[in-house]
């Protein structure tokens, strides 16, 4: 029994990504049509050439009909799936496996979420009827539990921690300012971030990702056929997905300074991809910065920083666009908002642009110097009870 | 074998309304002192649970029946005593009944428990409301008290036994409320005085006569009722010796309606010496008098929190907050989804967890689980669990947050991750807490609350509260 991975067996040959934001002029179907059109054009294929579809969405529709109806797909398999905030990555992972298995030649993974029609802040309620005993915490509150625990464990005082969180938001907004698809496309002064109204614990409004609409899609084929579609395919190096036992909220041994699920999926993904030192080998990483303390903890869980040191690395600029390892070069959830089903594929879209040298003003210098790998990461749930995805793509097949 | 009170306990909410604050807001004098107010997450059922827990902590004897009296029942048609029964983890064989709707049902529940041939718990609870600016708002109080009555025994000796009862019943329209109304109505005050005083005097005289004692022999006189003038008149005419009238707690607590005669009895028992006489005179739709004699056992058995200490504590709440809690001031809600009402079948399946805070302990490795699990989080043993109730186990805060976005009648919501002494962790709302003063390492205890009401359903569950 092992997680064998499918390194270099499939490749991405086209991608599309809509602008993210409050898309009052677009419904779910429009967003799906927009992203599909772009992805098909990018790969140079017609809709009829795609053999199977995986659609990721949490709130915006059920069943494959959500995709087949607007696109008028003629009698092809369309799977709709969700896995919390990792939904988009989960659509991609399953499409990759279908192609790797030989079942289909061409597959499309697409994610979408239309959040701005609900009229409320944050996310709608989910879940089956219950006994009313689960604390009704909002998402920012659940993730804010990390802050005091991290600060206490590593002796970081309140003001320092706030500075670290502020710098993460500032960095991601700075990157997003360079991205025409982002929801927020301007830099935000650190003072504005630090003084924004409190939402939960030490988290101000600017420590939270926004709420937006969007869609992104990828066309996947077998690796040996990739060059028929593009000169610069991305090869899938690793796909790791784990669901944890959700032990954190009931197990006193969990200390709220790490996501064990992320650690497990990172270890698995690095083994699949043959990565020994992520910080040295990756050109960039798109990580799930739903809230600023999440990104802080992820730097340690993904092995980019030693335990207890990420806060110093953040302050030192290690993860800036020009830093040693660019994290969220496209602006992250912070700049894009988080249309659940779309986010994982939106992250992949940035890898697509960066590794192909097409990221314009955001282009990471280390790609030109020979770094060929990029990582995407999603997590869904809450500290101590989440699902996590880590994927690695590369611009060349491994030797 | 004489049946008497073998254990008792009281509960007063920690929130206070200062009468001065009413006066300032409404521009009319509202007197001095404070009244107790049930918090936004409390009602007569949840306060009854807390009073009953306090009573049962003082004895190993378990009640075999439960009577719950209140003039402000959380539900009609549905029994409220069953929620108290469940929260106390009483045996399913013990019946639970409501005596609901009127202040007089308070002394009625205690009387019924004394008359029962088995250990019976009487719980008296009330939330007193009135329209803003009115006397009921000003002079009412919220609280609960519980008495476990049982035949005197070596294991559970009676602390006080009744030596005589007397009642005077009459039908007259003095105070009333139609179901669903926010406030009670009262006839002209002097009429109530006219009706009550003779009834009070008659019942007191009969009780003294039945007991073969005279008024000056009574060491503690409790004279109480929602009608202030009538109560004062009767108190003045019973013939109490100087200094034997028990303070009515009007200055700090207010009149707690259904609970008040019991609350004052508990307060008097806190201070009484063995072999003393107490008289409880309750004026509510007639008059009920019970003469009690304390026993030698009283000296050794005391509840953990005396009424005087409960009455002395508390923190003031702004008048606008109070009005919001009671629904008299409708505030702009957050732009968030409404809370979902708890569903009946899952709540029924989880009765022991939801109401009694009963988790499970793995019989293979000893790990505790909240809520109860079938597969052990530590050793993964399957179906090796035994139930374990953690309602009375203290814990410490491991991490916490102050949620300013979540829906609440009283934002912000404070949530703590609680690690319990002896194992087990649970993440839950905190209450009676200053958001600015929460800290990792703080000790907390569990308290039964009404989390919210949604879709016409009260969501009862437990919250953590700092141990003071």
Region B286-306: what's the mean pLDDT? 89
Nearest to A133 among B353, B398, B440 (CB): B353
* Class of domain B344-355+392-466 (CATH, top level): mainly beta
CATH architecture of A10-117+213-229: 3-Layer(aba) Sandwich (3.40)
Region A107-136: what's the mean pLDDT? 88
CATH architecture of B3-177+184-325: 3-Layer(aba) Sandwich (3.40)
| Average pLDDT over chain A, rounded to an integer | 96
Using CA coordinates, name the residue in chain A closest to B421.
Answer: A252
Among B387, B386, B388, B354, which residue's Cα sits nearest to residue B463? B354
Region B241-250: what's the mean pLDDT? 97
pLDDT band at A18 (very low <50, low <70, confident <90, very high): very high
pLDDT at residue B202 above 80? Answer: yes
pLDDT band at A122 (very low <50, low <70, confident <90, very high): confident
Per-residue DSSP letter, A25: T
pLDDT at residue B276 above 80? Answer: yes
| Angle at the Cα of B18 from the Cα atoms of B223 and B43, rounded to 5 degrees | 70
- A interface with B, Cβ–Cβ below 8 Å: 119-122, 124-125, 127, 129-133, 135-138, 140-142, 144-149, 152, 198-201, 245, 247, 249-252, 254-256
**pLDDT (0 to 100) of residue B123:** 98
**pLDDT (0 to 100) of residue A296:** 98
**pLDDT (0 to 100) of residue B299:** 81
- pLDDT over 70 percentage in chain A: 100
**Are the beta carbons of A140 and B405 separated by less than 8 Å?**
yes
Nearest to A148 among B335, B370, B440 (CB): B440
A288 included as an active-site residue: no
A162-218 pLDDT tens trace: 999 999 999 999 999 999 999 999 999 999 999 999 999 999 999 999 999 999 999
Antiparallel, parallel or unpaired: β A78-81 and A52-56? parallel
Q: Where in chain A is the domain with CATH 3.40.47.10?
A: 10-117+213-229, 140-208+235-394
Residues of A in contact with B347 (CB under 8 A): 131-132
A85 included as an active-site residue: yes
* CB-based burial, B90-106: b 16+ in 10 Å, e otherwise: beeebebbbbbbbbbbb
* Class of domain A140-208+235-394 (CATH, top level): alpha beta
pLDDT band at B34 (very low <50, low <70, confident <90, very high): very high
- The residue among B371, B403, B428, B437 with the most chain A CBs within 10 A of its CB, best to mutate, is B403
**pLDDT (0 to 100) of residue A121:** 75
B388-442 pLDDT tens trace: 999 999 999 999 999 998 888 889 999 999 999 999 999 999 999 999 999 999 9
pLDDT band at A124 (very low <50, low <70, confident <90, very high): confident
- Taking a C-beta distance cutoff of 8 angstroms, is the pair A216, A17 a contact? yes
Q: Where are the domains of chain B?
A: 3-177+184-325, 344-355+392-466
| Average pLDDT over chain B, rounded to an integer | 96
Region B302-315: what's the mean pLDDT? 88
**pLDDT (0 to 100) of residue B333:** 80
pLDDT at residue B1 above 70? Answer: no
| Beta pairing partners, A238 | A392
The two three-digit tokens of residue A57, written as one number: 């969405």
pLDDT at residue A155 above 70? Answer: yes
**pLDDT (0 to 100) of residue A1:** 65
- The residue among A252, A381, A383 with the most chain B CBs within 10 A of its CB, best to mutate, is A252
pLDDT at residue A127 above 80? Answer: no
**Are the beta carbons of B419 and A252 separated by less than 8 Å?**
yes
Q: Which of A290, A338, A377, A386 is catalytic?
A: A338
**pLDDT (0 to 100) of residue A128:** 82
**Are the beta carbons of A250 and B415 separated by less than 8 Å?**
no
pLDDT at residue A373 above 80? Answer: yes
Domain B3-177+184-325 matches domain B344-355+392-466 at the CATH topology level? no
**pLDDT (0 to 100) of residue B246:** 97
**Are the beta carbons of A252 and B335 separated by less than 8 Å?**
no
Q: Report CA B181 to chain centroid distance, whole Å.
A: 22
Using CA coordinates, name the residue in chain A closest to B348.
Answer: A131
B336-385 pLDDT tens trace: 777 889 999 999 999 999 999 999 999 999 999 999 999 999 999 999 99
pLDDT band at A398 (very low <50, low <70, confident <90, very high): confident
pLDDT at residue B303 above 90? Answer: no
User: Among A49-63, A132-146, A361-375, which stretch is predicted with the lowest mean pLDDT?
Assistant: A132-146
């Amino acid at each position: 029994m092992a997680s064998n991975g499918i390194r270099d067996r499939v490749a991405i040959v086209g991608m599309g990504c809509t602008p993210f934001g409050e898309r009052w002029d677009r419904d779910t179907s429009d967003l799906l049509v927009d992203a599909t059109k772009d992805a098909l054009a990018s790969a140079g294929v017609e809709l009829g050439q795609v053999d199977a579809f995986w659609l990721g969405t949490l709130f915006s529709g059920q069943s494959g009909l959500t995709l087949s109806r607007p696109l008028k797909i003629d009698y092809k398999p369309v799977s709709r799936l969700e896995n919390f905030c990792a939904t988009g990555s989960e659509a991609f992972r399953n499409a990759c496996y279908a192609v790797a298995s030989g079942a289909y030649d061409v597959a499309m993974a697409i994610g979408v979420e239309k959040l701005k029609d609900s009229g409320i802040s944050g996310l709608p309620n989910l879940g089956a009827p219950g006994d009313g005993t689960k604390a009704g915490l909002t998402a920012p509150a659940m993730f804010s539990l990390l802050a005091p625990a991290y600060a206490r464990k590593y002796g970081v005082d309140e003001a320092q921690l706030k500075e670290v969180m502020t710098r993460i938001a500032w960095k991601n907004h700075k990157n997003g300012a360079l991205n025409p698809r982002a929801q927020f496309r301007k830099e935000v002064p650190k003072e504005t971030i630090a003084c924004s109204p409190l939402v939960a614990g030490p988290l101000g409004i600017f420590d939270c990702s926004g709420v937006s609409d969007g869609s992104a899609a990828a066309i996947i084929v077998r690796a040996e056929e990739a060059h028929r579609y593009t000169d610069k395919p991305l090869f899938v190096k690793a796909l790791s997905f784990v669901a944890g036992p959700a032990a954190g909220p009931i197990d006193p041994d969990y200390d709220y300074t790490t996501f064990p699920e992320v650690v497990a999926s990172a270890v698995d993904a690095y083994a699949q991809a043959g990565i020994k030192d992520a910080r040295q080998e990756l050109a960039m990483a798109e990580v799930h910065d739903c809230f600023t303390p999440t990104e802080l903890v992820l730097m340690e869980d993904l092995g980019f920083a030693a335990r207890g040191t990420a806060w110093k690395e953040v302050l030192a600029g290690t993860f800036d666009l020009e830093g040693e390892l660019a994290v969220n070069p496209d602006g992250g959830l912070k700049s894009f908002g988080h249309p659940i089903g779309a986010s994982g594929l939106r992250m992949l879209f940035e890898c697509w642009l960066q590794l192909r040298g097409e990221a314009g003003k955001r282009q990471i210098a280390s790609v030109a110097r020979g770094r060929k790998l990029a990582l995407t990461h999603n997590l869904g749930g809450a500290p101590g009870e989440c699902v996590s995805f880590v994927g690695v793509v590369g611009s060349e097949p491994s030797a | 074998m004489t049946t008497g009170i073998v254990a008792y306990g009281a509960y007063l909410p920690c929130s206070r309304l200062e009468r001065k604050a009413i006066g300032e807001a409404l521009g009319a004098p509202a007197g001095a002192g404070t009244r107790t107010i049930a918090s936004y997450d409390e009602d007569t059922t949840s306060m009854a649970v807390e009073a009953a827990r306090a009573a049962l902590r003082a004895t190993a004897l378990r009640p075999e029946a439960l009577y719950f009296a209140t003039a402000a029942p959380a539900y009609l048609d549905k029994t409220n005593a069953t929620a108290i029964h469940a929260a106390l983890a009483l045996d399913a064989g013990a019946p639970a009944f409501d005596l609901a709707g009127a202040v007089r049902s308070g002394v009625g529940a205690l009387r019924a428990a004394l008359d029962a041939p088995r250990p019976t718990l009487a719980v008296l609870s009330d939330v007193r409301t009135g329209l803003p600016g009115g006397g009921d708002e000003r002079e009412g109080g919220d609280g609960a008290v519980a008495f476990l009555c049982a035949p005197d025994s070596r294991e559970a000796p009676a602390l006080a036994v009744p030596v005589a009862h007397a009642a005077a019943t009459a039908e007259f329209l003095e105070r009333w409320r139609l179901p669903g109304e926010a406030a009670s109505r009262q006839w002209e005050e002097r009429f109530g005085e006219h009706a009550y005083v003779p009834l009070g005097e008659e019942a007191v005289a009969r009780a003294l006569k039945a007991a073969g004692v005279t008024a000056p022999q009574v060491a503690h006189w409790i004279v109480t009722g929602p009608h202030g003038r009538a109560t004062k008149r009767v108190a003045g005419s019973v013939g109490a010796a100087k200094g034997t009238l028990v303070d009515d707690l009007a200055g700090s607590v207010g009149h707690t309606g259904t609970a008040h005669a019991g609350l004052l009895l508990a307060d008097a028992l806190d201070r009484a010496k063995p072999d003393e006489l107490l008289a409880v005179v309750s004026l509510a739709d007639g008059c009920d008098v019970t003469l009690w004699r304390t026993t030698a056992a009283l000296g050794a058995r005391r509840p953990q929190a005396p009424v005087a200490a409960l009455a002395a504590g508390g923190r003031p709440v702004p008048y606008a907050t109070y009005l919001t809690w009671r629904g008299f001031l409708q505030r702009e809600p957050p732009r968030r989804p409404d809370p979902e009402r708890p569903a009946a079948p899952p709540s029924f399946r989880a009765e022991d967890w939801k109401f009694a805070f009963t988790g499970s302990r793995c019989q293979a490795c000893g790990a505790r689980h909240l809520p109860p699990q079938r597969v052990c989080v530590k050793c993964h043993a399957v179906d090796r669990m035994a139930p374990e109730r953690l309602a009375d186990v203290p814990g410490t805060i491991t991490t916490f947050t102050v949620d300013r976005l979540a829906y609440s009648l009283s934002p912000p919501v404070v949530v703590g991750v609680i690690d319990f002494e002896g194992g087990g962790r649970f993440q839950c709302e905190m209450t009676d807490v200053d958001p600015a003063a929460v800290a990792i390492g703080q000790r907390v205890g569990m308290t039964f609350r009404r989390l919210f009401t949604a879709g016409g359903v009260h969501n009862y569950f437990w919250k953590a509260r700092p141990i003071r």
